[in-house]
Structure 1
Amino acid sequence: MKKTLKQFRTHYHLSQQQLAEKSAVSLRTIQRIESGVSTGSPYVIRQLCDALHIAPDELMLTNGASILNQQNITSPVKDESDAVYDNNIKYINFSALIALCLPFMNLIIPVVLRYIFRKSLTDKHNKAAANKILSLHIWWSVVTLIALIATPVADLYLFKIGEVLEIPLFIWCYLLFLIALVLIILKTANDINREKELLIFVPNIV
């Protein structure tokens, strides 16, 4: 008798998170399959079956459709809509928050982590994501540095706002850029969890 993914998972006493780690399929994708929202791509089904040590024809999806009805079940090609980000992408992304304590270190630490994790980021999908994150911090650092230099000059000759401020204007400028960076990092983290394309507004320079 065919069983659903949830039945197989609970039979082996695995949580959804444990199955996600064992199969390299994202937790969100597993949740969507078990709830019947998605049937998963052939690649994802194959990964799940391998992790559970079952044949594809033993599995019945929650909507009652056998995966035998899916075409190219043995294809090794991964569907981009089910692409899974490596956990190290999350570490690279969040490491840039060090800029909150050490200015412009967000340009250094992600590069170091990208080098450390290079062996686990060999596939095209994760490599592109890592390069996008690095491109973001290069662009942010360059633009922020230019703004920090230009702001006092513009204020000196045009606005004269700095004369009435206790805190120098360039510091306020840096804080605004820093807040924007934190918001982008949090948005990127959300996109990683949702398996969406990252930082589409950032030109690649890596």
Structure 2
Amino acid sequence: MDTSSLSDLSPLQSRKRSAILDGAKAVFLREGFSLATMDDVAAAAGVGKQTVYRHFKSKEALFVGLVSAMCTQEGALLAGAVGERSEGAPEGELRELGWLLARSLITPDLLRLYRAVVAEAERLPELGRVFYENGAKVVRAIAAQILRKRFDESTAALRAATFVQLVLGDAYLELSIGYTVPDVEARFALQIDEAIAAALR
């Protein structure tokens, strides 16, 4: 089956694909890519292994599909939440985006996803591309849209990239490698303040 055109899937096929991705999420985030098997995914999804292979030709393709789906979902949630405040001042919108981003990316599922992507990206270049295109690039675009209220397009894009890096800062790095961060909310509050100041200076 060609899953590149999801609009061509029947309702039943769409439901099965969603079930497969849900099963893949449970298995990959629990076991990591190397230990996960298509049998495990099929069992978690409640479908036969051949059904999994009809939608995704390999374990690698399934993992890339999962990463794409999870990043797309998070990006849509961020865009929707920030869009509700699109009439506000840039500082308020950036603060909202900063907190949404930080709280989203430090959830156990997304920390595990990030670790799995980093572990496999060298071997699976498509994985890194999908993660960037559907994740980091989308978040930067949201920040740039806010900053275009005050700056030209190229300046807004540059400051958006800086903003995202400063929001995540050392606290995210430490969490992503399994280090315990005391007072994580206070750390992110400081980083978000610094990110806003740098973006709007």
Asked if TM exceeds 0.5, the reply is no
Q: TM-score, normalised by structure 1?
A: 0.37
Of Structure 1 and Structure 2, which has the larger fraction of its residues in helix?
A: 2
Q: TM-score, normalised by structure 2?
A: 0.38
